[in-house]
Amino acid sequence: RDRFKASYLREASERRHRRRVALYRLQAALQEARADLSAARNRMAEEASRLQRLQAQAADVERARQAGAVGSFWVPAAVQQHFNRVVTQGSAMDADTRLRSLRQEVLLCRQALSGLQRSLPAKQRRVQQAERDLRALQGA
């Protein structure tokens, strides 16, 4: 009788331990999925702001290039100073090369943003599945 009682207590303890380990494993998976989702959202926000910044730079360079082409006409001094500052801000490359480079960066940024947007639903499903699994284990 004591032997069966000891065996039962040991098995019950092992069952509780296995359940606790499974619970910790699911909690860790949920935490990892949430962190992954949060990191993806942060990266999307960074890429979106980078895209806006690059587009603004490209527009400035385009305006400066056009202003350079119109240089033979009279331009107010303030406007001329602004465009000279925009043109000389970056490295010493001509406006066409800089514009081409910026447009290429914009394309790369859009591709990265598109990839992140496509991966977001899968990450959200992973979080939801981890939450369901955890609730199922806690409810059982």
- At residue 60, the pLDDT reads 87
DSSP string for 103-130: HHHHHHHHHHHHHHHHHHHHHHHHHHHH
This prediction's pTM: 0.69
Long-range contacts of 76-85 (CB under 8 A, 24+ apart): none
Burial of 98 (0-12, 13-18, 19+ CB in 10 A): buried
For position 84, what pLDDT does the model report?
A: 66
Nearest to 50, CA basis, from 111, 126, 132, 121: 111
Query: What percentage of the chain carries pLDDT values higher than 90?
Result: 60
**Can you give the residue ranges of every domain in the chain?**
2-139
pLDDT-derived band at 65, boundaries 50, 70, 90? confident
Residue 140: what pLDDT?
61
